[in-house]
Amino acid sequence: MSGARDGHIDVRGRSRGFAPRAAARARLDELWRRGTSFLGCELAIMGGAMTWVSERNLVAAISNGGGFGVIACGSMSRDQLDAEIAATAARTRRPFGVNLITLHPDLAALSDVCIRRGVTHIVLAGAIPSTQAVRRIKDAGVKLLCFAPALPIARKLVRMGADAIIVEGAEAGGHIGPVSTSVLTQEILPHLNEVPVFVAGGIGRGEAIVSYLEMGASGAQLGTRFVCAFESLAHRRFKEAFIRAHARDAVASVQLDPRFPVIPVRAIRNVGTMRFLALQGAVVDRFLRGETPQKEAQLEIEHFWAGALKRAVIDGDVETGSVMAGQSVGLVTREQSTREILEELVAQALQMIAARESAPPPRVAPVRAEG
């Protein structure tokens, strides 16, 4: 077990051959107590909602391991989501959440499904939610988490009723914003204390989690790190692509012409990436020659990746499919159980805390008197 190698400590901080590190465990529990209390779990580590990946098996495994699993609803219908929640609940007695896309045309009905099924936490993603959407969730007593790409938006969401904020930087996989996690956290964490804040984007080790906790975060959200869990149903070739990849291979989609916007998505570079660039060039050329209207050209660009994520995750088409991954993909080196991943993250966090607390104080050179 990797957790054993990294300090012989499991997720509860018990010793596996070394002296107990009760002080380090107590410090970690103190750092993320607000997050664990809010989520109702042992570890303030949320599973990032990844379409086609974050389903019943992986979500339940994260929750059973002490973390907080989150179902990715994506484009599911209300019946599909209802079945997914029921199947997840059959696999774990521990809390888990559901991530809903605010632009989903059936958002109200999907929220009602979560409420009826007793889901305790809903994450709204994709855009600032409407007042009605927030009220529907809050009136049912469900805890609401929202993504904030900037401090003013975070404050607005809290005023609207968000119970917690997720700050996700550009290092994340899938749809991303323009600002890195390290900058967003400096902008938001020192100034937003009203609600718990969870940090996401590029996190793959426990030391990083500790660093953000010490900055004021209540917990972390990781997605890429869990893709190669045994419990993940991702295709074997999809997992192999993650294990082979380095951080620099997870690139954001490129926009060739500002007249034809491209929603930035971070994924592992492949044949499809190059074809998308070629398509954009060809479409722009046809537009400039007056052969294709702008609206038609824009739709052609937008439709290029339709169904590409499912082809990659489920069918294993890692050449032309969309292999969405965060830059922490370089830290994914093998397939592991979800519990082992969580134990490894906690062991790394505890090692960092223990090493710091046992280090001798720095020597201070004497100050010479002037004159």
347 pLDDT above the threshold of 50: yes
- Both 274 and 186 in one domain: the answer is no
- Both 183 and 251 in one domain: the answer is no
Alpha helices in 92-164, H assignment, sequence order: 107-116, 131-139, 151-160
Sign of CA dihedral 99, 101, 105, 107: positive
Note the pLDDT tens digit of each residue in 206-218.
Answer: 999 999 999 999 9
Region 43-69 average pLDDT: 98
Domain that includes residue 259, residue range: 246-313
Tell me if 322 is assigned to some domain.
no
- Both 99 and 225 in one domain: the answer is yes
For residue 21, the model assigns a pLDDT of 72
For residue 15, the model assigns a pLDDT of 46
Tell me if 361 is assigned to some domain.
no
Sign of CA dihedral 332, 338, 343, 345: positive
User: Which H or E element spans position 292?
Assistant: none
Tell me if 293 is assigned to some domain.
yes
Note the pLDDT tens digit of each residue in 98-150.
Answer: 999 999 999 999 999 999 999 999 999 999 999 999 999 999 999 999 999 99
For residue 224, give the CATH number of its domain.
Answer: 3.20.20.70
Angstrom distance (rounded) from CA 280 to CA 58? 36
Angstrom distance (rounded) from CA 114 to CA 91? 17
Tell me if 212 is assigned to some domain.
yes
Tell me if 66 is assigned to some domain.
yes
Tell me if 328 is assigned to some domain.
no
pLDDT-derived band at 358 (thresholds 50, 70, 90) equals: confident
Nearest CA among 212, 204, 202 for reference residue 172:
202
- Both 14 and 133 in one domain: the answer is yes
Q: Which residues pair with 249 in a beta bridge?
A: none
Q: How many domains does the chain have?
A: 2
Specify the pTM: 0.91
Nearest CA among 113, 35, 125 for reference residue 80:
113
- Both 14 and 39 in one domain: the answer is yes
Tell me if 128 is assigned to some domain.
yes
Tell me if 348 is assigned to some domain.
yes
- Both 306 and 349 in one domain: the answer is no
